[in-house]
């Protein structure tokens, strides 16, 4: 179902809702955007920022009792995955969940874009895949994730976003977590109809510094085209152009959706309706996680 008020943000087929984009920046995964109408960011449309973090809430004993697992105690790391097609709102919801649970976000897309921006050898290798909307090969992706999990903050656990994306990555992640004495605690499967995905991606504005995403109507930044968090100029991702966005959805259906069966076998999947407002989706996610506390199914 299309969220209320969504149509206004949708550009005519194949056209950027912000007017003609600027020329792509060499070696960058982003295109600078010139906002076509400042009224898109009028105060009337400005949303309340996510609720302040309820800090210190890092206890999740329900994950042990309801799953019949090996026993998760109050201090155990929490490992969750936001799973869903591109544009379903994973990154948006991750921003809130990492604060709420006090665990770092591990977004392979953000890690790859960071490498490209920094001009590293790895960045050069992965750029062609991102440009085409294809998946980066598993060996490179797993190397990046392994390196990220070795950082101290991942000792508290991780909120994976956009990972794993193939059955091979999921199997290897199981092994990695097992070696660390952990397991995947919850997979949050965010479902959104295809036509809504393309429209959301066409309107997505990304902060090249912190990775936070916005939408001119549905999640507008507080001031013009600048990030609320760090004031960086927001940009449009090159791979959010409609033709690449469609390719990414096809890749998701063919190569990523099968990962769900892997986790369904482990009984850790919660199905989340990703339509409606950001706050509504957030509420559903928190209720799904709370549902596990009561051990009442997904
Ligand atoms: P979205 O959030 O819109 O789904 P991402 O930022 O997660 O997009 O990913 C952007 C691109 O980065 C993907 O199209 C793909 O090329 C690459 N990528 C990200 N995560 C992975 C992954 N786990 N495996 C392979 N490629 C990935
Ligand atoms: P993903 O990480 O799954 O690719 P994002 O979180 O980046 O998706 O969201 C894609 C776009 O949709 C962004 O412009 C974001 O502001 C917007 N968006 C996210 N959640 C919602 C929602 N519930 N309703 C409308 N727009 C949303």
Q: What is the DSSP string of 166-231?
A: SHHHHHHHHHHHHHTT----EEEEEE--HHHHHHHHHH-EE-TTT--EEBTTTB--SBTTB-TTT-
Distance of CA 242 to the CA centre of its chain: 19
What tokens does 158 get? 């991780």
Number of CB atoms found within 10 A of residue 288's CB: 18
Query: Which is the closest atom of ligand 2 to the Cα of 94?
Result: 6
pTM (two decimals)? 0.81
Q: What is the pLDDT of residue 3?
A: 33
Whether the CB of 92 sits within 6 Å of ligand 2: yes
Strand partners, 206: 213, 235
Residue with CA closest to ligand 2 atom 19:
89
Residue of 204, 216, 234, 236 to mutate, ligand 2, most atoms within 8 A of C-beta: 204
* pLDDT tens digits in sequence order for the chain, 298 residues long: 333 322 233 333 333 333 344 445 556 666 655 443 332 322 222 222 233 333 333 445 444 333 333 334 435 789 999 999 999 999 999 999 999 999 999 999 999 999 999 999 999 999 999 999 999 999 999 999 999 999 999 999 999 999 999 999 999 999 999 999 999 999 999 999 998 998 899 999 999 988 899 999 889 999 889 999 999 999 999 999 999 999 999 999 999 999 999 999 999 999 999 999 999 999 999 999 876 644 434 4
205 contacts 161 by C-beta, under 8 angstroms: no
Q: Is any ligand 1 atom within 6 A of the Cβ of residue 197? A: no
pLDDT for the residue 268: 95
| Amino acid 224: pLDDT | 85
CA gyration radius, the chain: 19
DSSP state of 117: H
Q: Which residues form the catalytic set? A: 90, 165, 204, 237, 248
Q: Whose CA is nearest to atom 10 of ligand 2?
A: 87
| 164 upstream amide cis, omega within 30 of 0 | yes
Q: What is the Cα–Cα distance from 3 to 136, expressed in whole angstroms?
A: 32
| 91 CB within 6 A, ligand 2 | yes
Cβ–Cβ < 8 Å for 206, 196: no
Check if the beta carbon of residue 93 is closer than 8 Å to that of residue 161: no
What residue owns the CA closest to ligand 2's atom 18? 89
Ligand 1 near 211 CB (within 6 A):
no
CA distance to 57, 95, 100, per residue, from 54 (Å): 7, 13, 6
Q: Is 214 in the pocket of ligand 2 (CB under 6 A)?
A: yes
- pLDDT value, residue 31: 62
Q: Does the beta carbon of 208 sit less than 6 angstroms from any atom of ligand 1?
A: no
> In 3D, which of 185, 167, 205 has the Cα closest to residue 30?
205
Pick the atom of ligand 2 nearest to 205's CA. Answer: 14
| Residues 252-270: b if buried by 16+ CB within 10 A, e if exposed | beebbeebbebbeeeebbb
Proximal ligand: closest to the CA of 4: 2
């Amino acid at each position: 179902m299309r969220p209320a008020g969504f149509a206004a943000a949708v550009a005519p087929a194949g056209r950027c809702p912000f007017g003609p984009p600027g020329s792509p920046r060499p070696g960058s995964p982003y295109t600078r955007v010139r906002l076509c109408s400042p009224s898109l960011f009028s105060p009337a449309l400005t949303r309340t920022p996510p609720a302040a973090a309820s800090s210190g809430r890092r206890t999740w004993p329900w994950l042990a009792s309801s799953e019949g697992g090996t026993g998760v105690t109050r201090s155990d790391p929490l490992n969750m995955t936001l799973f869903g097609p591109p544009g379903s709102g994973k990154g948006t919801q991750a921003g809130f969940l990492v604060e709420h649970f006090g665990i770092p976000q591990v977004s392979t897309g953000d890690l790859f874009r960071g490498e490209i921006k920094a001009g590293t050898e790895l960045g050069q290798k992965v750029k062609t895949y991102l440009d085409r909307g294809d998946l980066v090969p598993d060996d490179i992706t797993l190397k990046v994730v392994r390196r990220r999990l070795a950082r101290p903050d991942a000792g508290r656990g991780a909120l994976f976003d956009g990972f794993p994306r193939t059955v091979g990555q999921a199997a290897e992640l199981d092994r990695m977590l097992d070696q660390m004495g952990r397991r995947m605690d919850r997979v949050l499967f965010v479902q959104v109809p295809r036509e809504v995905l393309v429209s959301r991606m066409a309107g997505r504005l990304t902060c090249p510094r912190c990775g936070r995403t916005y939408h001119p109507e549905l999640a507008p930044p507080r001031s013009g085209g600048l990030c609320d968090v760090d004031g960086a100029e927001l940009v449009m991702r090159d791979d959010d152009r409609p033709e690449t966005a469609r390719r990414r959805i096809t890749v998701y259906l063919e190569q990523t959706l099968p990962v769900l069966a892997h986790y369904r076998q482990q009984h850790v999947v919660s199905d989340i309706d990703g339509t409606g407002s950001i706050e509504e989706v957030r509420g559903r996610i928190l209720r799904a996680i709370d549902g596990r506390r009561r051990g009442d199914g997904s």
